[in-house]
Amino acid sequence: MDFLAHLGMGFGIALTPFNLMMAVAGVMVGMLIGALPGVGPPSGVAMLLPLTFGMEPTSGIIMLAAMYAGTMYGGTITSVLINTPGESASVVTCLDGYQMALQGRAGPALGIAAIGSFIAGTIGVVLLMLVSPLLARWALSFGPPESFALMLLGLTTVTLLGGDDPLKGYISMVFGLMLAMVGFDIISGEARYGFGIPEMMDGVDFLPVAIGLFGLGEVLAGTEEKGGAQVKGKLRLREVLPSLADWAKSKWSIARGTVLGFAVGVLPGAGPTVASFLSYTVEKRVSKTPERFGKGAIEGVAAPESANNAAATAAMVPMLTLGIPGSATTAIMLGGLMMWGLRPGPMLFEKNPQFVWGLIASQYIANVMLLVASTALIPLFVRALRIPYSILMPLIILFCVTGAYSLKNNVWDVGQMLVFGVVGYFMKKLGYSPAALVLALVLGPLAERSLRQSLIISDAGIGIFFTRPISAVLMVLALAAIAVPLAKWGRSRLSSKA
Amino acid sequence: MRAADRITAALLFVFAVAFAAGALRYYEYGGSGGPGPAFLPFWLGVAMALLALMMLVKALRNPDPGEAWLPRGEGLRHTLVVLGVTALFIALLKYVGMIIGTALFLAALVRYLGAHRWWVTLAIAVGAAGANWLVFVHWLRLPFPEAGIWIF
C-alpha cells in the first residue's frame, strides 16, 4: 500500500533531530503566542516566517504548522484565567472557561481543553491524510475557470464570515486585490503602478503587509491600555487533570467538536474561529441542561476547544491540495510556500511528496507535544504571562522590524511594514478585515492569471465560468456569498424608508 | 465612527476612480490576445468605487454618530509615542546600524512604558539586541545594516 509507505517516509522525515526540534519549538512558541493577547496566530506565523528562510521548506512548514496548532491551545490559557482571549478562536471559551475559573476549576477547564485539542488534532490529521490525496487527485482536472471560481469563493466566504459589516469586509478584500495589481504583470511583463520606483515595480510583498497589519497594528491598538490585564495565582500540574466525571460529561462534546471543526475548517474561508462558535452553539442546543452554559459548563470549553484544533488542521487541506487558503494564517503559510519555491496545489502531492508527508507526520508528533506541553508545562506558561506588557510590546515591535527586514535585506520593506502597521491600526479601530486584505493580496496574482487565461480560452466571454459544471457550482456559491449581504442591505434600506 | 466612515468612503472613492482611470490611460485594456494588463485593475477600481459609494450613502443616512473610536488623552499619547519611536528607529537604521539601533530603541520604549529600574531596562535592551544578532546574523547569516557613522 503506497499510502502506508508514504506515511512511513513522512515519519522518517519528521523524526530527524532537526525537524523534531522544529516541531517542539513550534508548539512552544505557538502556545506562548496564542497566550499573549495582542499577538494572534497570523501575526505569529508572519513574524516567524523569516526565520525559516534559511531552512529546508519541509522544516519550515513543520515549525509553522506546529506553531499554528500551539496557538489554538495557547489562546485558551488566557481565556480561562483572565477572561481575555489570546486569539479569536478562543473567544467563545471565555464564556464557560472563565466561569469555571471563578469557581476554582481553572485546572480542569485547561485540562479538558488540552485533551480535547489532542484528540481533535490527531483525528484531524488522520482525516487530513485521507482526504487530501483524494481532493488533490480530483483537483488535477481543474482548469483556469475552476481555479478562478474556487479563489473567488474563498475570497467571498472569508469576507462574509470575517466581520460584522460585510461592506467593510468587501472593501478590505478589493483593496487587497488592488494592492496585488502593483508590480509586474505576469502575462504581459509590464510594470503597473510603479511610479518609476524600482521597489514599487517589484510589487507589494505580502509579508511586510501581513507583519504590519497583524503584528504592529495589533500592538498599536493595544498601547491605549498601558499595562493590560495580569495573571495572578499559580497552577500546579495535579490541578490540571480533569476528573472522571468531567471526562464523562465532555467526551461526546469533544467528538462533536472534532467532526464539526474539521468539516468547517475544510471549507475555504471558514477557519477555527467560525468552527469554535458553531460548535458552542451546537453543544448548547443538544444539551439537556442548556441553562448551565455560560455558568461554567465543561462542555462549553471542551467542544469549541476541540473544534478549533480540528479546524486548524483541516484548514491545511484546501491550502495544500487546492492552493486556496481558508484563513489569514494559512494565507500567510501559502505565501511562505511560494517563497520557498513550491507551487501549492494538486501537483504538490506528486512533485513534493516528502514535503507533504513530512508535514502530515509531524502533525501527529506536534499533537503529542502539545498534550505534554499543555499539561506538564502549564505552570511555566502561567508564569510567562506575567511578563509586563511594557517589556513585551517593544520586543514584539523589534520582531516585526527584523522580520520585515529579513525578507530581502532592505529597509524599504521595513518602511512598508510601518505604513501597514498604521493602516492595520485604523482597520482594527474602524471594523475592516485585515484577514480579507491579506488573503486577497496573496491570491490576487493567481486569481488574475486564471481569470485572464479563462477569458483567453473562451475568447473573452464570461460564459466559460458557468458552462463548465464544477466552475458553475463554485461561481454560483461565490455569487450567493456576495448577494446575501447586498440583499440584507437593500432590505434594511427599504424598511428604514418606510 | 460615522464621520470616519464618511471620510474613508470619500477617500476610497477618489482613489478607486484614479486607479481605474490610471489603468485605462497607461496600460492596455485588451486586444486580440485576450484581456490585457489594464483589464482587472480597471474593474477593481469600478468595484471599489461602487463599494465606497454604498458606504458613503450608508454613513450619510445613519443619524447615529456612533461611539468615539480614537483614543484621547493618555491613550492617544501612548500610541503616538510608540509609533514615533518605531518610525525613528526605522529611519535611523541605516545610520546607527541594527544592533545599536535596537538597543537604543528598546531602552527608550521600555523606559517610557514601564518606568522599570534602569538596570532592568538596560539588561532588556542589551540582552534582546544581542539575542537578535545571535539568531539573525550569526545563525541565519542575514546581513544586518551596520552603523554608517561612528561617533568615536
Contacts of B30 in chain A (CB under 8 A): 460
Q: Which residue among B14, B30, B61 closes a domain?
A: B61
Are residues B86 and B54 located together in one domain of the fold? no
Task: Please calculate the CA angle A495-B3-B8 and round it to the nearest 5 degrees.
Answer: 95
DSSP letter at B35 equals: E
Residue A303 lies in a domain: yes
Separation of alpha carbons A131 and A136, rounded Å: 9
Any chain A CB within 8 A of the CB of B58? yes
In degrees and rounded to multiples of 5, residue A191 shows phi and psi of -85, 120
Q: What is the pLDDT along chain A (498 residues), one digit of tens a residue?
A: 577 888 888 888 888 899 889 888 899 888 888 877 667 788 888 888 888 877 888 898 889 888 888 888 888 887 888 777 777 788 888 888 888 888 888 888 888 998 999 999 999 999 988 888 888 888 888 888 888 888 888 888 777 766 678 888 899 999 999 999 998 887 777 888 878 787 777 888 888 898 898 888 888 887 765 444 555 555 666 677 778 888 888 889 999 999 999 998 887 767 788 888 889 988 888 888 888 888 888 999 999 999 999 998 898 888 888 888 877 788 888 888 888 888 888 888 888 888 888 888 888 888 888 888 887 777 777 777 777 778 888 888 888 888 888 877 788 889 999 999 999 999 988 888 888 898 888 888 888 888 888 888 887 677 788 888 888 888 888 888 888 777 776 676 666 554
Q: Is residue B112 part of a domain?
A: yes
Is position B97 within any domain?
yes
- Comparing alpha-carbon positions, the chain B residue that sits nearest to A419 is B87
Torsion of CA A132, A138, A142, A147, to 10 degrees: -30
Task: Report if residue B117 sits inside a domain.
Answer: yes
- Whether residue B55 lies inside any domain: the answer is yes
Residue-level pLDDT at A235: 63
Residue contact A188–B28, C-beta within 8 A: yes
User: Which of B 107-146 lie inside 8 A of A, CB atoms?
Assistant: 109-110, 113-114, 116, 124, 128, 132, 135-136, 140-145
Residue A302 lies in a domain: yes
CA–CA gap between residue A41 and residue A29 (Å, rounded)? 11
B61, B85, B102 — which closes off a domain?
Answer: B61
Band of residue B98 on the pLDDT scale cut at 50, 70, 90:
confident
CA dist list (Å): A113 to A104, A305, A306, A308, A370? 16, 6, 7, 10, 11
Q: Does A252 fall in a domain?
A: yes
Q: How far apart are the first and last CA of chain B?
A: 52
Q: B44–A174: do the CB atoms touch at under 8 Å?
A: yes
Total structural domains within chain B: 2
Are residues B77 and B127 located together in one domain of the fold? yes
Distance CA B14, CA B9 (A): 9
- Asked if A127 and A133 count as a contact pair (C-beta separation under 8 A), the reply is no
Domain count, chain A: 1
A142 CA: distance to closest CA in chain B (Å): 21
- Does B80 lie in the same domain as B57? no
**Domain endpoint, select from B17, B38, B61:** B61
Residues B88 and B135 in one domain: yes
CB A370, CB A114: distance < 8 Å: yes
3-state class (DSSP) for residue B31? strand
What pLDDT is attached to residue B151?
44
- Residue B77 and residue B135 in one domain: yes
Which range marks the domain in which residue B13 is found? 2-61
Q: Which of A47, A177, A390 to mutate to test the interface with B (most CBs of B within 10 A)?
A: A390
Domain membership of residue B93 (yes or no) is yes
Give the count of Cβ contacts less than 8 A between chain A and B: 156
Domain of A209?
A: 2-488
Q: Is B147 part of a structural domain of the chain?
A: no
**B27 vs A190: CB contact, 8 Å cut-off?**
yes
Nearby residues of A433 by Cβ (< 8 Å), 6 or more positions away: A158, A159, A162, A163, A168, A169, A172, A173, A427
pLDDT one-digit tens code per residue, A380-418: 777 777 777 788 888 888 888 888 888 777 888 899 999
Q: Which of A415-424, B52-61, B129-138 is predicted least confidently? A: B129-138
Distance from CA of B150 to the nearest CA of A (A): 20
- Residue A142's pLDDT is 84
User: What is the model's pTM?
Assistant: 0.83
Cross-chain residue pair A390–B113, CB shorter than 8 Å: yes
From residue A50, alpha-carbon distances to A213, A331, B141 in Å are 16, 15, 12
Are B12 and B57 members of one domain?
yes
CB contacts, 8 Å: B7 with chain A: none
B51 and B9 fall within a common domain: yes
Asked whether A254 and A308 are in contact (CB, 8 A), the reply is no
Helices A299-314 and A272-286 sit at what angle, rounded to 10 degrees? 140
- This complex has an ipTM of 0.89
- Would residue A120 count as lying in a domain? yes
B86 shares its domain with B40 = no
Q: Are residues B82 and B107 both part of a single domain? A: yes
